[in-house]
């Protein structure tokens, strides 16, 4: 799978299992996700920063580089996250 850049915010994240959910702007829906094996440990703080913003009604968006896992029909089932960065505020 190739890496794609997606703008999203974290809606759920479990620091122990590293499973989470992100709202992907371009898909207009929530998708399960997890950091892939190559995800930098230093970027884990961005996930909790974005989750905190979602909980207080803020706009804590991230740009994810991720691999899409799709169903046979092409629907995105999960994202495997390669890395992420904060989306610049306009």
Tens of pLDDT, residue by residue over 55-66, are: 666 678 999 999
C-alpha span between 19 and 32 (Å, rounded) = 7
- Digit-coded pLDDT (tens) for 38-84: 899 999 999 999 998 866 666 789 999 999 999 999 999 999 999 99
Eight-class DSSP state of 53 = H
Per DSSP (E only), the strands in the chain are: 3-13, 20-24, 29-35, 62-70, 76-86
C-alpha span between 74 and 90 (Å, rounded) = 33
């Amino acid at each position: 799978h190739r890496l794609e850049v997606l703008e999203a915010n974290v809606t759920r994240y479990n620091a122990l299992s590293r499973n989470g959910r992100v709202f992907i702007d371009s898909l207009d829906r929530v998708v399960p996700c997890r950091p892939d094996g190559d995800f930098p440990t230093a970027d884990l703080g961005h996930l909790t920063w974005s989750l905190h913003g979602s909980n207080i009604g803020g706009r804590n968006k991230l740009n994810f580089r991720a691999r899409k896992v799709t169903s046979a029909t092409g629907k995105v089932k999960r994202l495997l996250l390669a890395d992420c960065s904060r989306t610049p505020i306009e």
